[in-house]
Amino acid sequence: MIARLRLQPADVGMGLTGQRVRDRLIEDLRGGGIADERVLNAIRTVPRHQFVDEALASRAYENNALPIGHGQTISQPYVVAKMTEALLRDGSPKRVLEVGTGSGYQAAVLAALGLEVFTVERIGDLLRTARKRFRALGLHVRSKHDDGRIGWPEQAPFDAIIVTAAGPALVEALLEQLAPGGVLVAPVGTAGAQTLLRLCKDADGAITQEDLGAVVFVPLLSGMID
Ligand code: SAH
């Protein structure tokens, strides 16, 4: 799986971007209950410091969200791990849709796991930067500049859908684009009261819902900007 990444020396990192700090982050994630070795391995390998501004690179392996411009953030590694684990649990999804590309880090983790990734971002500037990162790492990620609340109907259905910005309610169009047997993971709620939901669609189209706990995400907004 990780063989899909084309890593240069700058991606492997050193000092505060190197192996020791990454191993410490992985232990931190394990301590927080992340147990899926595939997920831990992907997070150890994907160079998170290449998904933030150079000035923040030295903080990339701290278990924190960091600013990426335009008032947005790259999610905390623990949250990326938890959402990815929730997507992979009981199943082996192949095609996954992400709403909210942001830095591109979550999409890169999914691509490193061997998934076929489709990602949608409403802020053109962030998407352009993320695309450069995918290219530099040799990652095949398909992306679209659009309001992700409409999903990607031409590419549906998806085995898994991950939403990385919080809306006040679940987006019906996204549930419709989920294949039977598929899983959707999304934060839902308003500022200060968001929960991470995991929804499964069974073979008959019936939905079951599980609450994975409180989270803090930037809002899912409508429309697009350059
Ligand atoms: N997955 C990202 C997290 C970025 S924060 C990462 O790994 O870095 C959430 C992102 O969702 C922001 O970039 C924001 O612009 C985007 N977003 C918010 N509403 C959106 C919408 N309706 N469609 C697409 N992207 C959206």
**DSSP for the chain?**
-GGG----HHHH--GGGSHHHHHHHHHHHHHTT---HHHHHHHHHS-GGGGS-GGGGGGTTSSS-EEEETTEEEPPHHHHHHHHHHHHTTS---EEEEE--TTSHHHHHHHHTT-EEEEEESBHHHHHHHHHHHHHTT--EEEEES-GGG--GGG--EEEEEE-SBBSS--HHHHHTEEEEEEEEEEEEETTEEEEEEEEE-TTS-EEEEEEEEE--PBP--S-B-
103 in contact with ligand 1, CB cutoff 6 A: yes
Res 213: pLDDT: 96
Query: Average model confidence (pLDDT) for the chain?
Result: 96
Res 3: pLDDT: 57
- pLDDT band at 140, cuts 50/70/90? very high
Res 162: pLDDT: 98
Percentage with pLDDT > 90 across the chain: 95
72 in contact with ligand 1, CB cutoff 6 A: yes
Active-site annotation holds for 75: yes
The bridge status of strand 193-201 relative to strand 207-215 is antiparallel
Question: Residues 47-74: pLDDT tens digits?
Answer: 999 999 999 999 999 999 999 999 999 9
Percentage with pLDDT > 70 across the chain: 99
Question: Residues 192-211: pLDDT tens digits?
Answer: 899 999 999 999 999 999 99
Nearest partner of 178 among 97, 117, 69, judged by Cα: 97
224 in contact with ligand 1, CB cutoff 6 A: no
74 in contact with ligand 1, CB cutoff 6 A: yes
Q: How far is the CA of 85 from the centre of ligand 1 (A)?
A: 19
147 in contact with ligand 1, CB cutoff 6 A: yes
Q: How far is the CA of 204 from the centre of ligand 1 (A)?
A: 31
Res 102: pLDDT: 98
Q: How far is the CA of 73 from the centre of ligand 1 (A)?
A: 8
121 in contact with ligand 1, CB cutoff 6 A: yes
Res 2: pLDDT: 64
Q: Which atom of ligand 1 is nearest to the CA of 148?
A: 23
Q: Domain 68-215 adopts which CATH fold?
A: Rossmann fold (3.40.50)
Q: Where are the domains of the chain?
A: 68-215
Q: Which atom of ligand 1 is nearest to the CA of 167?
A: 19
Question: Residues 106-137: pLDDT tens digits?
Answer: 999 999 999 999 999 999 999 999 999 999 99
Top mutation candidate among 46, 53, 72, 127 for ligand 1, by most atoms within 8 Å of CB: 72
